[in-house]
Structure 1
Amino acid sequence: MFKKVERQALYVWLYSMKWKKKLQHYGTIYYSSPKMKYVMLYVNTSRLADVKKELTTKKYVKRISLAHRKELDEHYDLADVRKAEKFTEGGEE
């Protein structure tokens, strides 16, 4: 049976985009921006510390940061939003 693997997104800023292909070894490249010279890389959470430590030693990596998507609440209740809008408008129906 399929088992869900938790992954974390890393933003890796590079000095040159010619090193982008080397990053495929560490995880899945989801997005790359040639203009801003960064790559969004998905890595298994179990390997995250090792990959981040190894990438910081590379000469072509400028900096690394983690994505904050896991910290965001993705569950919204539409009824609560409508109640909040009524109270901010000042009127009660």
Structure 2
Amino acid sequence: MFKKTERQALYVWVYSLKWRKKLQHYGTIYYTSPKMKYVMMYVNTNRVAEVKKELSSKNYVKRVSLAHRKELDEHYVLKTDSKREEKE
């Protein structure tokens, strides 16, 4: 049976996008921005610290940062207009 693996998004800023092929070794590339020269990639959660440290030591990488999507609350509540409710 299929088992879901937790993944974390990493943003890797590079000096040149010709290194994109080398980054495939570390995880799954989801998006590449040619204008801003960054690569968004997904890495297994248990390997995030190891991959981030390894990528930071590469000479073609400017910086590496984690995506904060897991920290955000995705359960939204609609705010109703209290004045409208009083009128009705």
TM exceeding 0.5 = yes
Query: Match of 1:13?
Result: 13
Query: Match of 2:68?
Result: 68
Q: In the aligned structure 2, how far is the partner of 1:34 from the partner of 1:76?
A: 33
- TM-score w.r.t. the length of structure 1 is 0.87
- The percentage of counterpart residues that share the same residue type is 76
Structure 1: 5+ residue stretches without partners: none
Deviant stretches of 4+, over 6 Å: none
| 1:74-85 correspondence to structure 2 within 5 Å | 74-77=74-77, 81=78, 84-85=79-80
Higher helix share: 1
Aligned-residue CA RMSD in angstroms? Answer: 1.1
Q: Secondary structure at the match of 2:5?
A: coil
Number of aligned residue pairs: 86
Q: In the aligned structure 1, how far is the partner of 2:63 from the partner of 2:81?
A: 45
Q: Secondary structure at the match of 1:85?
A: coil
Q: In the aligned structure 2, how far is the partner of 1:65 from the partner of 1:39?
A: 11
Q: In the aligned structure 2, how far is the partner of 1:37 from the partner of 1:9?
A: 16
| 1:1-93 correspondence to structure 2 within 5 Å | 1-77=1-77, 81=78, 84-87=79-82, 90-91=83-84, 92=86, 93=88
How far residue 54 of structure 1 moved from its aligned partner, in angstroms, is 0.3
